[in-house]
A = this chain, B = another copy of it.
Amino acid sequence: MFFIPALNLRKFKILEAIITDYIETAEPVGSRTIAKKCGLGISSATIRNEMSDLEDLGLIGQLHTSSGRVPSEKGYRFYVDSMMQSRSLTAEEALSLQRMLIENIYQAEYMMQETAKALARLSGYPSIVSEPFLKKTAIKHIQLVPLDEKSLLLVLVTDTKTVKNQVINLPSAPGYETLTQLSAHLNRCLAGLSIREINRELIDKMLKDFGAHAHVLMPILGIIADMIQSEDDVRVFTSGVKNILAFPEFADKNKAKAIFQALEDRESLFAILGQPFEASGIQVTIGEENNLELLKACSLVKASYSIDNQSNGCIAIIGPMRMDYVQAVSVLSGILQNIQYVIEALERGAR
């Protein structure tokens, strides 16, 4: 948020008209268009003078002499910070979200793909949604399932209702009976704990209590720690990537391709979402403000959702700098609310 002293109300309104018009049409905006549209009752000549001032302030620019004006990054930034007013979701949008909630929300992981879809459909931009990071998440239940004589399956249910599987290979896996006992033991000791609470002391105690199976317990404990600690199992969903093609900004094949490439690759998705997901509220980063080279011609609208007041997951949409920020922010915040609502419902259900 920054303040521009030279900006009187008329300039403010003209700037607003330029930006909204350009967001809508993707065409440079001329003084006559503004004269007709902004309803200030002043002539295009006066507006030309004002536009010249706005250009001096660095809020708008020209592609070439005698072209209309185009918002600059600084212009967009000012618009996002000081001009635009967020709106609520329309009845239609809200209804569409409600439908999303009705089915398959018990497990957090089902919700994510659906959230990505809703985000893309309602906003018209490609969306990215990450599963919650598990770092601060607690273990709810552990189950060991026999597979064959050399392997077993570890099923981990967290308090966010996410279910994770991992096959564990051993020189010789215990039988069903032993696994059942081990499962019970693991649950007694670990259920309700988060990764931070699993310490050396606890592990020593567990091994002591169940020493006969230490050779099985050790690798299992290691893997459990890995599972809830590493982000490797955190999936990231995208939707509506094709929406990019609707924007003239990405008419160039190579630009479109770069975006598609990035949105297909896990690593670059993480890079886009950024680490850590600590920031709260909705963040808008415009053009050069983005650290990633790939995004320097784009804008990113991003929000974190939290579980148990711990910021854990991230939802975002990507678009051209000429993005409909009002639409983007309102859809994102609407969906954010819904996610929180669902998560809280899950939490309540879990206790």
Chain A interface residues (CB < 8 Å from chain B): 106-107, 140-141, 143, 145-148, 150-151, 153, 155, 157, 161, 163, 165, 167, 169, 176, 180, 184, 239-242, 245-246, 251, 253, 256-257, 260-261, 264, 349-351
Chain A binding surface, main DSSP class: mixed
20 contacts between A and B (CB under 8 A): A106-B167, A107-B165, A140-B147, A141-B145, A141-B146, A143-B143, A143-B145, A150-B349, A151-B349, A153-B155, A155-B155, A176-B184, A239-B264, A240-B264, A241-B241, A241-B260, A242-B256, A242-B257, A245-B253, A245-B256
Which A-B residue pairs are the 5 nearest by beta carbons? A242-B260, A143-B145, A163-B165, A106-B167, A245-B257
**Is A148 within 8 A of B241, CB to CB?**
no
A241 and B263 CA atoms in complex are apart in Å by 11
Residues of B within 8 A of A246 (CB): 253, 257
A62 and B165 CA atoms in complex are apart in Å by 57
Q: Which residue of B lies closest to A177 (CB)?
A: B184
**Is A157 within 8 A of B163, CB to CB?**
no
Query: In the complex where A107-B167, A260-B242 touch, is A153 in contact with B147 (Cβ < 8 A)?
Result: no
A176 and B183 CA atoms in complex are apart in Å by 11
Residues of B within 8 A of A165 (CB): 107, 155, 163, 165
Q: Which residue of B lies closest to A263 (CB)?
A: B242
A12 and B264 CA atoms in complex are apart in Å by 42
**Is A153 within 8 A of B148, CB to CB?**
no
A107 and B153 CA atoms in complex are apart in Å by 10
Q: Which residue of B lies closest to A104 (CB)?
A: B167
Minimum C-beta distance from A55 to chain B (A): 33
Residues of B within 8 A of A151 (CB): 106, 349
A253 and B169 CA atoms in complex are apart in Å by 49
